[in-house]
Chains A and B, each alone.
Chain A
Amino acid sequence: MAMATTIKLTVNGKPQTLQVDDPSMPLLYALRDELGLHGFHFGCGLAQCGACTVHYYGEALRSCVMPVSAVAGAEIVTLEGLGTPDKPHPLQQAFIDEQAAQCGYCINGMIMQAAAFLRTTKRPTEDQVRQALAGNLCKCGTHVRILRAVMRAAEKMA
Chain B
Amino acid sequence: MLDTPLARRVLLKAGGALVVTFGFAPRALDAQTARSTDKTLSADEVGGFIAIDGQGQVTLYSGKVELGTGVFTAITQIAAEELSVPLARVRTIQGDTQLTPDQGPTYASLSIQNGGTQIRRAAATAREALLDQAAGRLGVTKAELVARDGSVAVRDGSGSLSYAELVGGRQLTMKMNLAAPLKDPKVYTIVGTAVPRLDIPAKVFGTFNFVHDVKLPGMLHARMVHPGGAKAKLVSFSDAACRKIPGYLRAVRQGDFLAVVATNEWAAIRASGVIVAKWSDWAGLPEQAQLFEYVRNSKVDRSDVFQSSGDSAEALKRAGKTLQATYQLAMNTHGSIGPSCAVADFKKGQLTVWTPSQASHLLRLQLATMLQLKPENVRCIYVEGAGCYGRNGSDDCSSEAALISKAMGKPVRLQWMRQDEHGWDPKGPPVLMDYRAGVDAEGHIAAWESDIFMPERPMRRSGVTLLAAELADLPKFGPPTAPLHNIGLGVPYSLPNNKLTAHWLVDTPLPAAWIRAPGRMQNTFGNESFLDEIAAATGVDPFEIRLRYLKDPRGLELLERLRQFAKWQPRGATPRDGGPVARGRGVSYCKYELVRTYVGVVADVTVERKSSQIKVERVWVVHDCGQIINPDGLRNQIEGNVVQTVSRSLIEELTFSRSAVTSLNWGSYPILTFPNVPEVFIELIDRPAELLWGAGEPTTSVIPSAIANAVFDATGARLRSVPFRPATVLTALAAVPR
Q: When chains A and B are docked, how far (Å) is the Cα of A104 from the Cα of B336?
A: 11
A144 adjacent to chain B (CB < 8 Å): yes
Cβ contact within 8 Å between B337 and A42: no
B205 touches A43 (CB 8 A): no
The answer on a CB contact under 8 Å between B213 and A103 is: no
Q: Give every chain B residue within 8 A of A17 (Cβ-Cβ).
A: none
Distance A70 CA – B647 CA, assembled complex (angstroms): 36
**Do the beta carbons of A80 and B205 come within 8 Å of each other?**
yes
Determine if B639 and A45 form an interchain contact, defined as CB atoms under 8 angstroms apart. Answer: no
Whether A33 touches B265, Cβ cut-off 8 Å, given contacts A38-B212, A96-B200, A139-B389, is yes
Q: Is B647 within 8 A of A49, CB to CB?
A: no
Kindly supply a per-residue 1/0 record for chain B positions 181-220, scoring 1 wherever the CB is within 8 Å of any chain A CB and 0 otherwise. 0000000000000001101110111111110110000000
Taking CB as reference atom, which chain A residue is nearest B196? A99
Asked if B204 and A96 sit within 8 Å, CB to CB, the answer is yes
Contact of A45 among B207, B213, B417 (CB under 8 A): B417
CB of A13 closer than 8 Å to a CB of B: no
Closest CB in chain B relative to A126 CB, distance in Å: 10
User: Quick one: given A48-B666, A133-B674, are A104 and B206 in contact (CB under 8 Å)?
Assistant: no
Is B632 a contact partner of A99 (Cβ separation < 8 A)?
A: yes
Report the Cα distance A104→B199, complex, angstroms: 9
The CA-CA distance from A131 to B673 in the complex, in Å, is 9
How many angstroms from the CA of A39 to the CA of B665 in the assembled complex?
23
Among candidates A39, A105, A141, residue contacting B205 with C-beta atoms closer than 8 Å = A39
A99 touching B197 by the CB < 8 A rule? yes
Given contact pairs A48-B665, A99-B632, A141 touches B644 in the complex (Cβ within 8 A):
yes
The digit string for A140-158, where 1 denotes a CB below 8 A from any CB of B, is: 1111111100000000000
A16 on the B face (CB < 8 A): no
B338–A22 contact, CB under 8 A?
Answer: no
Using a Cβ–Cβ cut-off of 8 Å, how many residues does chain B contribute to the interface with A?
Answer: 66
Q: Which of A46, A80, A95 contacts B665 (CB 8 A)?
A: A46
Residue from A92, A141, A146 whose CB has the most chain B CB atoms within 10 Å: A141
Residue of B at shortest CB range from A146? Answer: B674
Contacts of A44 in B (CB 8 A): 418, 665-666
**Known contacts A44-B665, A95-B200, A130 near B674 by CB under 8 Å:** yes
Cross-chain contact A29 with B265 (CB below 8 angstroms): yes
| Interface residue stretch chosen among B77-85, B314-322, B675-683 | B675-683
Q: Taking the complex as formed, is B640 at the interface, i.e. its CB lies under 8 A from any CB of chain A?
A: yes
User: What residues of chain B lie closer than 8 Å to A6, measured between beta carbons?
Assistant: none
Give chain A interface residues in 79-120, CB to chain B under 8 Å: 79-80, 82-85, 88, 92, 95-96, 99, 101-108, 111
A137 partner, pick from B208, B673, B675, beta carbons under 8 A: B673
Known contacts A1-B246, A33-B265, A44-B665: A92-B636 contact under CB 8 Å: no
A103 engages B266 (CB within 8 Å): no
Q: Which of B123-137 contact A (CB under 8 A)?
A: none
Q: Known: A38-B212, A104-B200. Is A141-B641 also a contact (CB below 8 A)?
A: yes
- Of the candidates A2, A38, A95, A139, the one whose C-beta lies within 8 Å of that of B335 is A139
Interface of A is mostly: loop
In the complex, chain B residues whose CB is within 8 Å of the CB of A45: 417-418
At the interface, yes or no: A7 with Cβ under 8 Å from chain B? Answer: no
CB-based nearest A residue for B22: A38
* Residue with the greatest number of chain B CB neighbours at <10 A, chosen from A2, A88, A137: A137
Cα(A139)–Cα(B421), bound, Å: 14
Q: Are B205 and A79 in contact (CB under 8 A)?
A: yes
**What are the interface flags for B211-234 relative to A under an 8 Å C-beta threshold, 1 for contact and 0 otherwise?**
011000000000000000000000
A51 to B671, Cβ gap below 8 A? no
Q: Is the CB of A145 within 8 A of B636?
A: yes
Q: Which of A2, A32, A129 contacts B246 (CB 8 A)?
A: A2
- Chain B contacts with A in 265-318, Cβ cutoff 8 A: 265-267, 269-270
* Shortest Cβ distance from residue A35 to the other chain B in the assembled complex, whole angstroms: 13
Chain A residues whose CB sits within 8 angstroms of the CB of B443 once the complex forms:
none
B69 within 8 A of A: yes
B203 touches A140 (CB 8 A): no
Residues of A with C-beta under 8 A to B679: 144
CB nearest to B637 among chain A residues: A102
B523 part of interface (Cβ distance < 8 Å) = no
For the complex, is A72 an interface residue (Cβ under 8 Å from B)? no
Nearest chain A residue, comparing its CB with the CB of B247? A21
Write the chain B residue with the least CB distance to A3.
B246
B68 in the interface (beta carbon within 8 A): yes
Neighbouring A residues of B680 by C-beta, 8 Å? 144
Residues of A within 8 A of B67 (CB): 103
Q: Does B643 contact A (CB under 8 A)?
A: yes
Chain A residue nearest in CB terms to B679: A144
Distance to closest chain B CB from A137 (angstroms): 6
Asked if B201 contacts A85 (CB within 8 A), the reply is yes
CB-defined contacts of A95 to chain B, threshold 8 Å: 200, 204
Q: B415 at the A/B interface (Cβ < 8 Å)? A: yes
Q: List residues of B (413-464) whose CB comes within 8 Å of A's CBs.
A: 415, 417-418
- Return 27 A-B CB contacts under 8 Å, by A number: A1-B246, A2-B246, A21-B247, A25-B266, A38-B206, A38-B212, A42-B338, A46-B418, A48-B667, A79-B205, A80-B206, A96-B200, A101-B199, A101-B203, A104-B203, A105-B336, A105-B337, A129-B674, A134-B673, A134-B675, A135-B673, A138-B337, A139-B644, A141-B645, A142-B639, A144-B643, A145-B636
Pairs A-B, 8 closest by C-beta atoms: A39-B206, A103-B68, A141-B643, A104-B203, A79-B206, A103-B387, A105-B386, A141-B640
Beyond A38-B212, A78-B206, 17 extra complex contacts between A and B, CB < 8 Å: A21-B266, A36-B23, A38-B206, A38-B213, A39-B207, A41-B386, A44-B666, A85-B201, A96-B201, A101-B204, A105-B337, A137-B337, A137-B673, A141-B639, A142-B643, A143-B674, A145-B636
